[in-house]
Amino acid sequence: MAKEKKSALEEKKGVSISEITNQSTIKTIKEKRRAKINTDVLVSSILKKDITALSRAITLVESKNPMHLKKANTIIKACLPHANNSVRIGITGVPGVGKSTFIEAFGKHITSKGKRIAVLAIDPSSSLTKGSILGDKTRMEDLVRDNNAFIRPSASGDSLGGVARKTREAIILCEAAGFDVIIIETVGVGQSETTVHSMVDFFLLLKLAGAGDELQGIKRGIIEMADAIAINKADGDNLKRAKLAKVEFNRALHLYPEKPSKWQPKVIVCSALKNEGIDTIWKFILDFIAMTTKNNHFYTKRNEQNKFWLIQTIEEQLKFDFFNRSKIKKELENQLQLIEANQTTPFAAADYLLGLD
């Protein structure tokens, strides 16, 4: 009898009960998303290690909506006293070096030690469509299922060094959520890596043997910033080449002056695919933290980083405020048309726009 009533209801409305249920569920989800954001509840949930709240807060921080800026700042301010208790690691390398495979193996090693790890993976954005694949969760399918791991892919946007605009704030939120290790994976396309170096404690450079980029790497200056170099994919027929590359990179490291930290950068061959050398890299990092904590460089560097990010934040906010002024939006379009018609120069147009009240 109940089935007959259900069938009659479905026939009358022209839709199935399952479709009605699905529509109701979608409506509920949309209503929750539109619900007013309670920053106090969000902060409280983050401190209780709620991953959903953490993801929502990072989305809020990354938002370009001016209405979200105040709420994001409130959340960051509330989380700040609970931050600074993690080890921050920057990992970079050219595309194809195996960053995702390495981070997954490295992350699994860390969680096996009873620690919680957050991976802030930065994907390159298209300069044409502004889109990004954000496929790191797919590439790290084992780590993503680990309850002690959190993977957050973000688009790099127009940021140099392959670092997303709000990565610094995301680090603070992850630390407040109780993560012991924060990894920042950069795009690694040869742009300025100073940005990621300025927000991490340990900078790891992944390299390939026989790729012909040894001198290019030295020229870019990335090796100078590295605290360790890991030559990945050192397995099979590539193992011999990897060992030769290790010798070359060790020689290159002696060309640079001593680091302020007094730490001597290490070179190691590893295979993320076979999980070889991963434990040694983690030991290097622990040794680095112990040494720099003892000689006080660890805290000095973090203080310098905070000063750097103060300047960066001011510059970013000034740029944001400038381009979002209604008068600037209107006059900018006019100046672009004048440039296209060869009636003004880019320098004269910029001078005019900057002089507007």
The reported pLDDT for the residue numbered 213 is: 52
Q: Is 104 a member of any domain?
A: yes
Same domain, 70 and 165: no
For the chain (357 residues), the mean pLDDT of every run of 10, in chain order, is: 48 52 57 68 95 93 81 93 94 86 95 95 53 54 91 66 69 96 77 74 89 52 86 91 90 84 93 94 97 96 90 85 91 95 95 91
What is the pTM assigned to this prediction? 0.81
Same domain, 148 and 121: yes
Instruction: Give the CA distances from residue 271 to residues 146, 184, 185, 236, 294, in Å, rounded to whole numbers and listed in that order.
Output: 21, 20, 18, 10, 31
Q: Which residues, in sequence order, are CB contacts of 328 under 8 Å at separation 6+?
A: 322, 353, 356
The reported pLDDT for the residue numbered 215 is: 47
Instruction: Give the CA distances from residue 180 to residues 175, 192, 287, in Å, rounded to whole numbers and listed in that order.
Output: 7, 27, 16
Number of domains in the chain: 4
Q: Name the one residue in this structure whose structure tokens are 């590439």.
A: 139
The reported pLDDT for the residue numbered 22 is: 61
Q: Is 108 a member of any domain?
A: yes
Q: Is 199 a member of any domain?
A: yes
| Closest alpha carbon to 197 in 124, 88, 282 | 88
- Evaluate whether 27 touches 38 at the Cβ level (below 8 Å): no
Same domain, 141 and 94: yes
Q: Is 31 a member of any domain?
A: no
Q: Is 137 a member of any domain?
A: yes
Range of 236's domain?
Answer: 83-295
The reported pLDDT for the residue numbered 174 is: 97
Same domain, 168 and 197: yes
- Evaluate whether 122 touches 186 at the Cβ level (below 8 Å): yes
The reported pLDDT for the residue numbered 188 is: 59
Same domain, 111 and 207: yes
Same domain, 114 and 170: yes
Q: Is 189 a member of any domain?
A: yes
The reported pLDDT for the residue numbered 187 is: 65
Question: In CATH, what number is assigned to the domain containing residue 256?
Answer: 3.40.50.300
The reported pLDDT for the residue numbered 64 is: 76
Same domain, 260 and 333: no
Same domain, 162 and 260: yes
Same domain, 262 and 137: yes
Q: Name the one residue in this structure whose structure tokens are 């090693």.
A: 109
- Output the CA angle 251-255-258, nearest 5 degrees: 115
Q: Is 301 a member of any domain?
A: no
265/280 Cα distance (integer angstroms):
14
Question: In CATH, what number is assigned to the domain containing residue 59?
Answer: 1.20.5.170
The reported pLDDT for the residue numbered 69 is: 82
Q: Is 92 a member of any domain?
A: yes
- Evaluate whether 273 touches 101 at the Cβ level (below 8 Å): yes
Structure tokens at 147: 């309850």
- Evaluate whether 42 touches 57 at the Cβ level (below 8 Å): yes
Same domain, 244 and 124: yes
Structure tokens at 171: 């680090």
Same domain, 142 and 212: yes
Query: Edge-to-edge strands of the sheet including 202-208?
Result: 149-155, 117-123, 181-185, 87-92, 202-208, 228-232, 266-269
78/177 Cα distance (integer angstroms):
12
Same domain, 72 and 88: no
The reported pLDDT for the residue numbered 24 is: 61
